[in-house]
Amino acid sequence: MTTPEDFVRTLRGVVGDEPFVGLHVPDIAELEKQRVRECLDSTFVSSVGVFVTEFERGIADFTGAGHAIAVSNGTSALQVALELAGVGAGDDVIVPTLSFVATANAVSHAGAQPYFVDSDEETLGLSVDAVAEVLRAARSTPDGPVNAVTGRRIGAIVPMHTLGHPMRVAELVALAAEYDVPVVEDAAESLGSRVDGVHTGTSGRLGILSFNGNKILTTGGGGMILTDDDVLARRARHLTTTAKLPHRWEFEHDEVAYNYRMPNLNAALGVAQLERLPRFLADKRRLAARYQDAFADAADIEFLTEPAGTTSNYWLCAVRVSGGAARRDALLEATNDAGLQCRPFWNLLHAQAPYRRLPHAAVPVAEALHASVVCIPSSPALAAA
Ligand SMILES: *Cc1c(COP(=O)(O)O)cnc(C)c1O
């Protein structure tokens, strides 16, 4: 059996001997400083400016999305995307219990309630089979399927691409179409991840990205709404910019809306990071390959690789260990003591305080994944260590 000491030694063999190695540290170079300085010099630091447009265009080109709308963070992006998909008060939204809390919070912000389902062992993402079970049991109505457990309309399905690994989104979209339920993809972690050339976040009616400081590309804080639908894109832009009607001087607004626009200052950082993204992605793949090699001989530790037929951005590298949560915690203890910042998965959402009273589906796979996965240092710069 791999001891905690062996585990630390193996990680050290890959990441080198810096006293402290973070889980995921942003890579900010001279280019970022130049762009941010340009933005400061222009005085257009807020919601109007050329960098926002340039960043949106850059993300649309990179992902192949018809439209990209820059917003303040991934959570607000998901809230607005859900509202644009028609989700509202009284609805359920199907969400994996294995996700960051923002996925469920965005559903709540949209006035709906998350209905948590299980994950898929191979992709770590939302289980298409588990979703199919919920939809098959649902009562069909003119407004859409009604969840047999909660009696609430199923307004949308939100798959998430866990740690950057693509889930089976094409299958999910086909299934959802049978029941006329929109798919809104939480691709917050998976910028750069594709299946057959199709970028994550572009298969559903809408998708979202996050550019928080710990993601593969950062704007400090920021998010993006992706959609191919011209009408939804126009609505997204309107709703995230206080629903102001265009006029040379008048302030006329035609609905209650949000101030969710990404500031130009953040977009300036994003423009520079996007230029360097291909390099980050290449570095991540090299780091992942080195971890995979390093753990190749450990029978009780499996390095998690991209699902067959997909290209992952390897946002966070992770291993799966046998022996249950006690073994996982022993490895977390030893690595963090040794200056190697390692983390478990997020605590499952169906068991967290704001959501533990809600009915949910059975989630045995998510529970097993939660008890056995350890995320390991994943900064792109480590590929050079
Ligand atoms: C980071 C993240 C978000 C939210 O992004 P913020 O920009 O921090 O609001 C949403 N979902 C998942 C799965 C994430 O990892």
pLDDT in tens, the chain (385 residues): 899 999 999 999 999 999 999 999 999 999 999 999 999 999 999 988 899 999 999 999 999 999 999 999 999 999 999 999 999 999 999 999 999 999 999 999 999 999 999 999 999 999 999 999 999 999 999 999 999 999 999 999 999 999 999 999 999 999 999 999 999 999 999 999 999 999 999 999 999 999 999 999 999 999 999 999 999 999 999 999 999 999 999 999 999 999 999 999 999 999 999 999 999 999 999 999 999 999 999 999 999 999 999 999 999 999 999 999 999 999 999 999 999 999 999 999 999 999 999 999 999 999 999 999 999 999 999 997 6
Residues 6+ apart with CB under 8 A from 300: 1, 2, 321, 322, 323
- Which atom of ligand 1 is nearest the CA belonging to 77? 9
| Cα(186) to centroid(ligand 1), Å | 8
C-alpha distances (whole Å) from 152 to each of 91, 308, 321 are: 6, 36, 38
- Phi and psi at 208, nearest 5°, equal -135, 155
In this structure, the residue with its CA closest to atom 4 of ligand 1 is: 74
Q: Which two tokens stand for residue 21?
A: 């190695």
Q: Which two tokens stand for residue 117?
A: 């389902």
Report whether 152 contacts 191 (CB < 8 A). Answer: no
**357 exposure class (CB count in 10 Å sphere: 0-12, 13-18, 19+):** exposed
Q: Which two tokens stand for residue 181?
A: 């339920």
Mutate-to-test residue for ligand 1 from 212, 313, 345, highest number of ligand atoms within 8 A of CB: 212
Range list of β-strands (E), 133-216 = 139-141, 144-146, 154-157, 184-186, 194-195, 198-199, 206-210
69 vs 223: CA distance, rounded Å:
8
Residues 6+ apart with CB under 8 A from 56: 68, 69, 70, 224
- Which atom of ligand 1 is nearest the CA belonging to 221? 7
Residues with CB under 6 A from ligand 1: 73-75, 99-100, 102-103, 160, 186, 188-189, 210, 212, 223
According to DSSP, the β-strands at 113-117 and 139-141 are unpaired
- Which atom of ligand 1 is nearest the CA belonging to 103? 11
Residues 6+ apart with CB under 8 A from 19: 339
- Which atom of ligand 1 is nearest the CA belonging to 160? 13
- Which atom of ligand 1 is nearest the CA belonging to 75? 9
| Cα(262) to centroid(ligand 1), Å | 15
| Cα(5) to centroid(ligand 1), Å | 33
Q: Within a 10 A sphere around the Cβ of 17, how many other Cβ atoms?
A: 9
112 vs 358: CA distance, rounded Å:
12
113 vs 381: CA distance, rounded Å:
40
- Which atom of ligand 1 is nearest the CA belonging to 212? 7
Closest CA to 347 of 101, 116, 127: 101
C-alpha distances (whole Å) from 122 to each of 101, 141, 157, 323, 366 are: 22, 34, 20, 19, 11
**DSSP state for residue 349 in the 8-state scheme:** G
| Cα(95) to centroid(ligand 1), Å | 14
In this structure, the residue with its CA closest to atom 14 of ligand 1 is: 188
Q: Which two tokens stand for residue 45?
A: 């630091």
CA-CA-CA-CA dihedral for 39, 44, 50, 54, to nearest 10: 60
The whole-model pTM stands at 0.97
Mutate-to-test residue for ligand 1 from 101, 189, 209, highest number of ligand atoms within 8 A of CB: 189
Give the pLDDT confidence of 320-345 residue by residue, as tens digits. 999 999 999 999 999 999 999 999 99
Place of tokens 């009616």: 205
pLDDT given at position 1: 87
Angle ∠(102,107,110) on CA atoms, nearest 5? 120
| Cα(187) to centroid(ligand 1), Å | 9
Mutate-to-test residue for ligand 1 from 103, 108, 160, highest number of ligand atoms within 8 A of CB: 103
| Cα(100) to centroid(ligand 1), Å | 7
| Cα(201) to centroid(ligand 1), Å | 13
Helix intervals (H) in the chain: 4-15, 30-42, 50-63, 74-84, 101-109, 128-137, 169-178, 230-239, 264-294, 324-337, 364-372
50 vs 211: CA distance, rounded Å:
18
Give the pLDDT confidence of 238-287 residue by residue, as tens digits. 999 999 999 999 999 999 999 999 999 999 999 999 999 999 999 999 99
pLDDT given at position 384: 79
- Which atom of ligand 1 is nearest the CA belonging to 210? 7
In this structure, the residue with its CA closest to atom 5 of ligand 1 is: 74
Residue 98 amino acid letter: L
